[in-house]
A and B are shown apart, each in its own frame.
Chain A
């Protein structure tokens, strides 16, 4: 296993403090969602083959793939989603402020939550008799490199009583990667938040022991971030040198 010194680590992938310091010195989190500019996810991709300056005449090099913005859903959402959101508004009075966007896509409901309301919303989702999301199925992260709040902490909740699912998503920036921890509500979030911290550098405030879990304790950087290289060494085959997978020419 390559030691942390040998790895090429991008500058902004390595926070200069460890998690404990950050947790200790955090003021109350401010709202993370700028409602006027919900910046699109990802970056613009130009050129189909990832090649530029080669005098390409095929026209493929000029193709552009725009970054993507999930559209906000309009009422009625369909299925049980309307009931669910209504029940949440009834159970959590500040829901209008907390939910910055509702996305209904491919029969799945996503609630984008402002981070200072995450605990309130999750408490209502878990405790309200009309909601009863007893099980926190999964906590994971996604890094939408290029957008303003690129780190997303995504939790999938399951209501075993009503057999419903909902996804709650919180967006934060790399400069201020703080999200309240769900461990107080769902003890199962413990390891999953440690994993998300380990691989994305999202800092869960209030987590009992936010340390690395999959990577070695002394590792630098957060490997699942999009600006963290995959790594690997060139391979020689019949005289030719094949670069590692993340440096190969690739379709965009």
Chain B
């Protein structure tokens, strides 16, 4: 074989080829050392591209993945066990930390469970505020998905833009609940406090800003050659695969089934809102990107409708045995019990003081039984199996975490693909390990 770029010459030791030659096949007699070897590659749990403390054990044949195992549990903090040692209200404080990118959904699904056990419903305004907070949270969660997913694929501008947009969502949370994360804002019976003054203007401005940011996504990523090539036909999973593996949320909708519990099993009055359920039929990572971005537009539509509908009214159930007596207000030293309430319990009414103390330290009792409540979180069906034995503490709280369940699809998506596509596949699932491991 002669090649202008791979010259060879005869020597006393035999024929010598230079290194730039493309004829190593003939030299090595047709054996490929890479094909003969099985490489087991450990990725994570401390790896910038595994979306948190996720560990992947990949078996590689060259660049092709022949086996993939997912190892979880590195962020297990016993949140479910801890709730069994606190009051029903304090349970919110723990569960909001489970999936830390969708705290409002964790709080809502748990509170809906407690309310179902109690046989009460929160006032209309409280439910609207819950819808508002959840939809802002859906935006912020999808922004983080876009930011981290982009970063894992090397699109650093997507990361900076995504986190900038998410910051605006966190500003909304801070304005309403006082905190950017770990809110414990939604409580059994309603929400912790009413919306602050001037919320309407700020939120309408926020909606405008988010539309602007979403236009930026369209300019930067939608249809952009590198982004499309990295995502299209990568990490495919169909409707049958999704259902048998229990995968719900944007992955199921990107595969073609319009299963969104806001439409199929409505809660909190979602059936009265005008919004679409975006779907796609290709079931690959690019479809998931399109579905999530379209969902963000729909969330903005819902937020706008909530703002139009909000009427003054109570934000906590009118039951002094459940609702905490104090109305929180912002004082010079931060958020706390309102001054009027403190004056009342310290100066005029001993009974109010006793009642306040009992309700905060002892909590309320919940009639025994078990319920399963579910909401459509940014990652799919988030379910809460809440059991009461009639006491002041949850007997058992189990979260059906979409991150935990959707991660079972990694092997299906990764095997047979390239190792670089594993990153795109895992990113397109959008697992949050805090929720997965709880």
Binding site for B on A (CB under 8 A): 41-42, 45, 65, 67-68, 70, 105-106, 108, 110, 134-138, 140-143, 154, 156, 160, 163, 165, 167, 186-188, 190-192, 195, 212-216, 223-224, 230, 245-246, 250-252
Contacts and interface: CB of A to CB of B under 8 A. Distances in A.
A41 B368 CA distance: 10
B244 A186 contact: yes
Interface in B372-414: 372, 374, 381, 383, 385, 387, 389-393, 395-396, 398, 400, 404-405, 407-408
Given A106-B116, A110-B370, A230-B82, 19 more contacts: A65-B390, A65-B391, A68-B389, A70-B368, A106-B369, A135-B246, A138-B385, A141-B398, A142-B370, A156-B400, A163-B264, A163-B265, A186-B246, A191-B408, A192-B404, A192-B405, A214-B73, A230-B84, A245-B82
B408 A68 contact: no
Contacts of A223: 78, 81
Nearest to B392: A251
A223 B404 CA distance: 19
Given A156-B385, A192-B405, A105 B370 contact: yes
A214 B72 contact: yes
Contacts of B381: 137
B78 A106 contact: no
Contacts of B362: 251
27 contacts: A41-B368, A42-B395, A65-B391, A68-B368, A70-B368, A106-B371, A108-B370, A108-B372, A137-B374, A138-B383, A140-B400, A156-B372, A160-B257, A186-B244, A188-B247, A213-B73, A223-B81, A224-B396, A230-B78, A230-B81, A245-B85, A245-B86, A246-B85, A250-B393, A251-B361, A251-B392, A252-B392
A65 B389 CA distance: 10
B80 A224 contact: yes
Given A138-B383, A224-B81, A252-B391, A188 B76 contact: no
B324 interface: no
A70 B246 contact: no
A45 B395 CA distance: 13
Contacts of A70: 368-369
B243 interface: yes
B259 interface: yes
A230 B400 contact: no
Contacts of B438: 214
B259 A230 contact: no
Interface of B: 72-73, 76, 78, 80-82, 84-86, 116-117, 119, 243-248, 257, 259, 264-265, 361-363, 368-372, 374, 381, 383, 385, 387, 389-393, 395-396, 398, 400, 404-405, 407-408, 437-438
A70 B437 CA distance: 31
A212 B265 CA distance: 34
Given A188-B246, A215-B73, A251-B392, A167 B85 contact: no
Q: Which of B81, B361, B381, B391 is the most central at the interface, judged by chain A CB atoms within 10 Å of its CB? A: B81
A245 B381 CA distance: 32
A70 to B, nearest CB: 7
Contact of B245 (A41, A188, A245, A251): A188
A55 to B, nearest CB: 21
A108 B391 contact: no
A224 B408 CA distance: 23
Contact of B385 (A45, A134, A154, A191): A154
B86 A138 contact: no
Contact of A142 (B72, B245, B361, B387): B387
Given A65-B390, A214-B73, A137 B383 contact: yes
B260 to A, nearest CB: 12
B404 A191 contact: yes
Contacts of A246: 85
A105 B81 contact: no
B117 to A, nearest CB: 7
B398 A138 contact: yes
A135 B248 CA distance: 10
A40 B362 CA distance: 25
Given A65-B391, A214-B437, A252-B391, A106 B385 contact: no
Contacts of B243: 134-135, 160
B270 to A, nearest CB: 14
B413 to A, nearest CB: 14
A223 B416 CA distance: 38
Contacts of B383: 137-138, 156
Nearest to A225: B81
Contacts of B395: 42, 142
A167 B408 contact: no
A215 B81 CA distance: 13
A136 B246 contact: yes
A106 B246 contact: no
B363 A251 contact: yes
Contacts of B84: 230
B377 to A, nearest CB: 13
Contacts of B257: 160
B385 A108 contact: no
Contacts of A42: 368, 389, 395
Contacts of B372: 108, 137-138, 156, 165, 167
Nearest to A224: B81
Q: Which of B86, B362, B407 is the most central at the interface, judged by chain A CB atoms within 10 Å of its CB? A: B362
A41 B389 contact: yes
B389 A137 contact: no
A155 to B, nearest CB: 10
A110 B389 CA distance: 17
A65 B119 CA distance: 20
B87 to A, nearest CB: 8
A87 to B, nearest CB: 20
Nearest to A246: B85
A122 to B, nearest CB: 14
